[in-house]
């Protein structure tokens, strides 16, 4: 990606994808491999969809091949999990409760509103605050991951 903002958005989307699919992702496999694959695919899709690059050029640069990674990165996984848990615990009580109901228990906004006897709009507002907080608290991982990706694809 030649555009830093687009690259940041793609990396943030990858972390959101990791978070949303945490229940179905095989944690016996390295998290780094999952994130690398997701980011690689999102970058390829963006380049394809934006039509800024010819598919022939993507093939020449080997951007359509996903590299395989071996080895455990449980340290990265554990550190990221700790950061996520810490960020969640920093949320105000009601905001944290709504976030957990949505992200951990997979309840829809209407279900949360019914369960807590609040409006759907309140649930939306609290989720927006929670997600913004998570983006800010996990922003350092976006920069690290961008550096890592740059290193991998410019070897």
What digits encode the pLDDT tens for the residues 15-71? Answer: 888 887 777 777 677 777 778 888 888 887 777 666 554 555 445 444 444 444 444
pLDDT (tens digit, 9 = 90+) per residue, 78-98? 777 788 888 899 999 999 999
Q: Which residue in this structure is represented by tokens 């949320």?
A: 91
Distance (Å) of CA 65 to CA 5, 41, 62, 126? 24, 9, 6, 40
| Distant-in-sequence, close-in-space partners of 1: CB < 8 Å, separation ≥ 6 | 7, 10, 43, 46, 47
> What pLDDT was estimated at residue 110?
94
Number of domains in the chain: 1
Q: Residue 1 pLDDT > 90, yes or no? A: no
> What pLDDT was estimated at residue 6?
82
> What pLDDT was estimated at residue 93?
95
For residue 128, what are the domain limits? Answer: 4-153
Distance (Å) of CA 151 to CA 98, 109, 139? 38, 40, 19
Distance (Å) of CA 116 to CA 87, 106, 120, 138, 148? 22, 15, 10, 28, 42
CA angle 75, 81, 87 (to 5 degrees): 135
> What pLDDT was estimated at residue 72?
42
pLDDT (tens digit, 9 = 90+) per residue, 99-111? 999 988 889 999 9
CATH number of residue 100's parent domain: 1.10.10.10
> What pLDDT was estimated at residue 97?
95
The Cβ of residue 119 has, within 10 Å, a number of other Cβ atoms equal to 11
């Amino acid at each position: 990606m030649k555009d830093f903002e687009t690259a940041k958005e793609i990396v943030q989307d990858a972390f959101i994808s990791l978070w949303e699919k945490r229940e179905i992702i095989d944690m016996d496999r390295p998290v780094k491999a999952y994130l690398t694959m997701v980011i690689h695919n999102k970058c390829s899709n963006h380049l394809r969809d934006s039509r800024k690059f010819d598919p022939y050029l993507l093939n020449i640069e080997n951007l359509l091949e996903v590299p395989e990674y071996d080895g455990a990165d449980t340290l990265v996984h554990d550190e990221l999990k700790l950061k996520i848990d810490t960020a969640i615990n920093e949320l105000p009580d009601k905001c944290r409760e709504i976030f957990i109901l949505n992200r951990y228990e997979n309840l829809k906004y209407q279900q949360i509103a019914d369960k807590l006897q609040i409006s759907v709009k309140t649930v939306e507002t609290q989720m927006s605050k929670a997600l913004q907080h998570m983006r800010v608290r996990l922003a350092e991982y976006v920069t690290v991951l961008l550096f890592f990706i740059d290193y991998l694809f410019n070897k």
